[in-house]
Amino acid sequence: MPDPATVTVSIPTILRTHTGGEKRVSAVGNTLAAVIDDLEVNFSGITERIVDGDKLHRFVNIYVNDEDVRFSGGLQTQISDGDSVTILPAVAGG
């Protein structure tokens, strides 16, 4: 196993209650799923706001380097050192 990659994660307003108000936090992992697991270690409760079962929650968009992961491998998207991960609430409705 390679050393886990370190990435910066941008946190949307709605999830900053979990990060003590921080807009950007660091996390490690070689896949997006591993990065989210690492976020949970430091920011308890954040995972259930992002993940629904084994899928990305429909209420959020996650981007790795500007690429929406829904189109690039979902939670299994590979992460490299220095990547940026951005979480945004999906804006949608009926």
Partner 1 sequence: MLTIRADLVDAMVSHARADHPDEACGVIAGPEGSDRPERFIAMLNAERSPTFYRFDSGEQLKVWRSLEDTGDAPIVIYHSHTATEAYPSRTDISYASEPDAHYVLVSTRDPDDHELRSYRIVDGVVTEEPVSIVEKY
Under the rule (CB under 8 A), what is the footprint of partner 1?
Answer: 12-14, 59, 61, 63, 66, 68, 70, 86, 88-94
Q: How far is the CB of 3 from partner 1 (least distance, A)?
A: 29
Instruction: Give 4 or 89: the residue with its C-beta nearer to partner 1.
Output: 89
Closest by CA to 56, choosing from 32, 40, 38, is 32
Q: Do 72 and 85 contact (CB within 8 A), yes or no?
A: no
Q: Do 31 and 79 contact (CB within 8 A), yes or no?
A: yes
Q: Other CB atoms closer than 10 Å to residue 71's CB: what's the count?
A: 8
Three-state DSSP class for residue 38: helix
Instruction: Give 48 or 66: the residue with its C-beta nearer to partner 1.
Output: 66
Instruction: Give 1 or 91: the residue with its C-beta nearer to partner 1.
Output: 91
Q: How far is the CB of 4 from partner 1 (least distance, A)?
A: 25
